[in-house]
Amino acid sequence: METPPVFTPFKFNLSYGASVTVKLLFVGLLTLILLIPAVWIMSLIEERQERAVSVVLEVSEKWGGSQTLVGPILVIPYTVQETRENASGTYTVQRTENAYFLPEKLSVTGEVEPEVLSRGIFDAVVYRANVATKATFKAPDFNALGVSPENVQWTNARFVVGIKDLGGISATPLIASGNTNLETEQIADIYERTDGAHYSAMPGIVSKTGWASASDFQPHVSLTLNFKGSQSLNFVPSGKETKVNLTGAWGNPSFDGKFLPETRKVQENDFAATWSVLHYNRPFPQQWTGTQTVLAGSEFGVNLLVPVDQYQKSTRAAKYAILIILLTFVALFMVEIIRKIRIHPFQYALIGAALIIYYTLLLSISEQLGFNVAYWIATAATVVLVSWYARTFLPDGSNTILFSLMLTIFYAFIFVIILQQDFSLLIGSIGLFLVVAALMYFSRKVSWYKEAEA
């Protein structure tokens, strides 16, 4: 009688090479999965940055927005006669047009007094500005514009000055023509921008000259303005020769616009800059008629930057999250292979979670203390946590110390890349080359396909 077969459970044994391959696949899959929360971190940073921008705009609306100054411009109306026809015959219609004249020489001297206003944890840069302008005009040449001198309305001649945000004016503007002080009023008929058959106008101030005829023309005009603004102050080169001298008690200015300063001096707590622009450099003429000339597109000036943009740096740091995770997992994997220990996939996952939470820690602390301090606080906390946890499965203390040192080097490497923005590609390429070289060196004696010992 035959003996019935005895059932024995199937025992699945992976070879050493197969188990290494499976672990590599798992580490790669886990790295890809951790990209999902990394993207969430990027969205969180963008959300906080948008919140900061909205607070700055809210403060600016109440204090005074970014300011742009135009002029002074001499505006002289003239009469135009047109002959029209209808069923009853021909008739004459009169209408009024404006002729615009820019100064031959324009000199602007300004002083900016910035300060930082806080709304919760967010800061907004605002300023008070004192601007003195001197302009020299030449006698208007109406013949060059095709206007008959007898049609000129000298009694309605006026000087206009464009100011982007009139709500920021803190004292009555002073305009003088020659030795005569002129009264000022609010107006919005300059700085036209064509849009089909319509145009909009930049707000500003106007002063009637009080001239009765061409013989009353005064070539010299002076203007004093005291106003408030936020973030930036810009000027339009209205003169045939425009010179602007600007100083301010701010150590982080950015000189923006169409033209850069000819000279600049930036110190820790203040700056000074000088611009010189000719009419050849701008896209509008020295004199014109009608409303089709646009004075936009040639502004220049200064932007008062907040010293530390923690959101921009946090965004750059988060972009390197996948690199930190990958390098950390590779370091653990090499320890696992060289030291012949086993690290459970759950332990990889917990370390990956700690590396992701690092970025929320960095963002929240940077809003309170600034990016640089927050970076090292978050780094120290993460390195200590991960090292403490790694001590539970690494064979001895020397391995834990080595792993902690490697993790610190990884974060220091990213920090250098963030600070050295102009050389980030060069530094990053050299650093990754050295990492690959180190991996080749330490793995040179690993026998990847040997069979596991019984």
Can you spell out the DSSP letters for 295-328?
A: --S--EEEEE--S--HHHHHHHHHHTHHHHHHHH
Q: Quick one: 256 exposed, middle or buried, by C-beta within 10 A (0-12, 13-18, 19+)?
A: middle
What six digits make up the tokens of 200?
């909009």
* Per-residue pLDDT of the chain in tens (454 residues, 90 and over written 9): 555 555 444 444 444 445 666 766 777 777 777 777 777 877 777 777 777 777 777 777 777 777 888 878 888 888 877 766 666 767 677 777 788 888 888 898 888 888 877 666 667 778 888 888 898 888 888 877 777 777 778 888 888 888 887 777 877 888 888 777 877 777 754 444 444 433 345 677 888 888 888 787 888 888 888 888 888 888 888 888 889 898 888 877 888 888 888 888 888 788 888 888 888 777 778 887 876 566 767 888 888 876 556 777 777 777 777 777 777 877 777 777 666 777 777 777 888 888 888 888 888 887 778 777 888 888 888 888 888 887 777 777 777 777 778 788 888 877 777 776 666 667 667 766 776 777 676 666 656 565 444 3
Q: Which residues pair with residue 225 across a beta bridge?
A: 131
Give the strand pairing for 232-235 and 253-257.
unpaired
Angstrom distance (rounded) from CA 425 to CA 390: 32
Residues 121/132, Cβ–Cβ less than 8 Å = no
Distance CA 33, CA 28 (A): 9
Length of the chain counted residue by residue = 454
In the chain, the N- to C-terminal Cα span, in Å, equals 38
278 and 241 in contact (C-beta within 8 Å)?
Answer: yes
pLDDT for the residue 190: 47
User: What is the rounded CA–CA span in Å between residue 394 and residue 387?
Assistant: 10
Cα(101)–Cα(142) distance, rounded to whole angstroms? 10
Instruction: Identify the pLDDT of residue 384.
Output: 86
Contact in structure between 230 and 142 (CB atoms under 8 Å): no
Q: Report yes or no: 180 and 218 within 8 Å, Cβ to Cβ.
A: yes
Q: From CA 446, how far away is CA 337, in angstroms rounded?
A: 8
**What is the SS3 assignment for 321?**
helix
What pLDDT is attached to residue 293?
Answer: 62
Task: Name the 3-class secondary structure at 87.
Answer: coil
What is the C-alpha to C-alpha distance for residues 272 and 356, in angstroms, rounded to an integer? Answer: 44
**What residues does each domain of the chain span?**
16-50+310-442, 66-304
List the structure tokens of 164.
């982007």
Rounded-to-integer distance, Cα 73 and Cα 201, Å: 14
C-alpha 164/C-alpha 160 separation (Å) is: 13
Q: In terms of Cα–Cα distance, which of 181, 188, 190, 172 is closest to 221?
A: 181
CB 40 within 8 A of CB 363: no
Q: State the Cα–Cα distance between residues 48 and 371, nearest whole angstrom.
A: 14
Q: Report the C-alpha gap between 378 and 367 in whole angstroms.
A: 13
CA proximity to 291, closest of 188, 217, 206 = 188
What is the four-CA torsion angle of 187, 66, 200, 76, rounded to 10 degrees? Answer: 40
Query: 33 is written with which tokens?
Result: 């999965």
pTM of the predicted model as reported, rounded to 2 decimal places: 0.65
The SS3 of residue 95 is strand
pLDDT value at residue 262? 86
What lies within 8 Å, CB to CB, of 202 at 6+ separation is 68, 70, 162, 163, 164, 188, 190, 191
